[in-house]
Amino acid sequence: MPDSGRPSPDAYQPPLRWWSHAWRLVAMALVVGVVWGTIGAQRSTAEVVLDLALGTAALVLVHLRRRAPLAVALVTAVLSSLSATASGPAILAGVSLATGRRWVQVVAVGAVNFAAGTVFSAVYPPSDPQPWWVTAVTNLVFTSAMLAWGMYIGSRRELLWTLRARAERAEAEQELRADRSRLEERGRIAREMHDVLAHRISQISMRAGALGYRTDLSADELREGVAVIRDAANDALTDLRGVLGVLRGGPDGADGADGSDHAPQPTYADLGELVGEARRDGVRVAFCDAIVDAPVPEATGRTLYRIVQEGITNARKHAPGAELSIDVHGSPEDGIGVVLANPLGFGPTATPGSGLGLVGLAERAALRGGRIEHGTHQGSFVLRGWIPWTA
């Protein structure tokens, strides 16, 4: 099992292609040639045949080193104790196992390779005999260098794999952030478009419906009613252009095309005009403003304005003729609360509802750290909202 927090060696081992096998075969052949050159005693034909047979077996086994690294490394090391030809595959198997950097396996394979080298030196003494301790130290240094080289290769492979994985993860996270930003932007656009258009279109629908029911109007009165609808439509277009300008523009609200300034977004100071406009449209409104005499932050005032605007729009759609009570109150210490209530049972108008207004209000309030609640209470539909004075 891999160590905790480390990837498995199988994860960062590179694939072996034809040229990978080719240069490894060349390296093994060079090692075999060097080992053959160190053998001083003349060997019989049977010994040579045995050497080649064991070396062939080791060469076949070494191609399975990634499937069973420990077993292949141990078997090839044992074969190299009696075969010079098996020395190349034994070294390749030992280096390959060391890339996994599992200390128990590395130490075990190192010990077997050291013992195999000692046995080989005793069976086939070199042409220039050395003291036993020189041979032992040389064998120990060579075995340690072989395993250290394999561990270095494994460490480098793991480092490159880790960096690549981090880059891929960062790219995926960046894509997720971009997708989330696009969804948030779509939601922001949808809220702004709904807040502006739903209010204006409900005005137009109510006035057009009134004209459709009136059969006693003179031509002048009809023209006057159509002019009012035209003005409401123009106001809707103006508001829509203002919203699009803010959404497209920078912090100053200027459009990127011509740099012209757009109308400022509504705030708390525009609540009185909003209520007055609703009254002129025939909505009965009882408005109570109990906010302390202190400057309301623009962002907070804009959220409050949109809540009241949506409440008026809903009352106009679903309870025409009912009296809508609007109560706003608050202070810098307590935040701002708003309650809108209208009696039920007046029946909806022909104006369709999307059902998204209250959802958008809840999202808008949540972005400001507030909340929205709605429901029926004692025969009235009640919309309650609270937003902090500052975010």
Q: Are residues 283 and 164 in the same domain?
A: no
Apex 285 CA angle, 282 and 288, nearest 5: 155
341's enclosing H/E stretch is strand 335-343
DSSP structure string for 57-118: HHHHHHTTTTTSHHHHHHHHHHHHTT-STTHHHHHHHHHHHHTT--HHHHHHHHHHHHHHHH
User: Looking at 170, 199, 229, which one is the last position of a domain?
Assistant: 170
Q: Are residues 148 and 294 in the same domain?
A: no
- Mean pLDDT for the chain? 80
- Give yes or no for residue 185 having a pLDDT over 80: no
Residue pair 113/90 in contact by the 8 Å Cβ criterion: yes
Q: Are residues 39 and 147 in the same domain?
A: yes
Q: Are residues 166 and 271 in the same domain?
A: no
| % of the chain exceeding 90 in pLDDT | 18
Confidence of residue 40 (pLDDT cuts 50, 70, 90): low
Per-residue pLDDT tens over the stretch 282-310:
788 999 999 988 888 888 888 899 889 88
For 250, the 3-state DSSP assignment is coil
Note whether residue 194 is domain-resident.
Answer: no
Residue pair 381/347 in contact by the 8 Å Cβ criterion: no
368's enclosing H/E stretch is none
Q: Are residues 166 and 272 in the same domain?
A: no
- At 105, the amino acid letter reads Q
Q: Are residues 157 and 293 in the same domain?
A: no
Q: Are residues 304 and 157 in the same domain?
A: no
**Helix runs in the chain, H state only:** 9-12, 18-38, 45-62, 69-80, 87-98, 103-123, 132-213, 219-248, 271-280, 298-318, 357-367
Residue 226 neighbours by CB under 8 Å, 6+ apart: 211
For 189, the 3-state DSSP assignment is helix
β 380-387/335-343 pair status: antiparallel
Q: What is the DSSP letter of 252?
A: T
Displacement of CA 287 from its chain's centroid (Å):
46
Note whether residue 286 is domain-resident.
Answer: yes
d(CA 31, CA 82): 15
Residue 245: predicted pLDDT: 65
Note whether residue 160 is domain-resident.
Answer: yes
Q: Are residues 161 and 301 in the same domain?
A: no
For 245, the 3-state DSSP assignment is helix
Q: Which tokens go with 341?
A: 């209530």
319's enclosing H/E stretch is none
> CA–CA distance from 123 to each of 30, 58, 119, 339, 378 (Å)?
22, 19, 6, 99, 104
Note whether residue 188 is domain-resident.
Answer: no
Identify the CATH number of the domain in which residue 367 sits: 3.30.565.10
pTM to 2 decimal places: 0.46
Note whether residue 201 is domain-resident.
Answer: no
Note whether residue 216 is domain-resident.
Answer: no
Quickly count: other Cβ atoms within 10 Å of residue 171's Cβ: 10
Quickly count: other Cβ atoms within 10 Å of residue 65's Cβ: 20
Note whether residue 210 is domain-resident.
Answer: no
Number of independent structural domains in the chain: 2
Residue 204 neighbours by CB under 8 Å, 6+ apart: 229, 232, 233, 236
In this prediction, residues 357-372 reach a mean pLDDT of 81
| % of the chain exceeding 70 in pLDDT | 81
Q: Are residues 129 and 277 in the same domain?
A: no
Residue 110: predicted pLDDT: 92
DSSP structure string for 291-304: E-SSPPPHHHHHHH
Q: Are residues 277 and 154 in the same domain?
A: no
User: Looking at 132, 148, 170, which one is the last position of a domain?
Assistant: 170
In this prediction, residues 165-183 reach a mean pLDDT of 82
- Give yes or no for residue 346 having a pLDDT over 70: no
Q: Per DSSP, what are the bridge partners of residue 372?
A: 385
Q: Are residues 24 and 165 in the same domain?
A: yes
Candidates 217, 188, 207; CA nearest to 303 is 188
Note whether residue 229 is domain-resident.
Answer: no
Residue 363: predicted pLDDT: 79
Range of the domain at 285: 267-391
In this prediction, residues 78-91 reach a mean pLDDT of 90
User: Looking at 170, 198, 224, which one is the last position of a domain?
Assistant: 170
Which of the residue ranges 55-64, 103-112, 176-185 would you say has the lowest mean pLDDT?
Answer: 176-185
Task: List the 380-387 sheet strands across, edge first.
Answer: 284-291, 323-331, 335-343, 380-387, 371-377
Confidence of residue 72 (pLDDT cuts 50, 70, 90): very high
Displacement of CA 137 from its chain's centroid (Å):
55
- Give yes or no for residue 192 having a pLDDT over 60: yes
Per-residue pLDDT tens over the stretch 117-127:
888 888 887 76
Q: Are residues 151 and 29 in the same domain?
A: yes
Residue 259: predicted pLDDT: 41
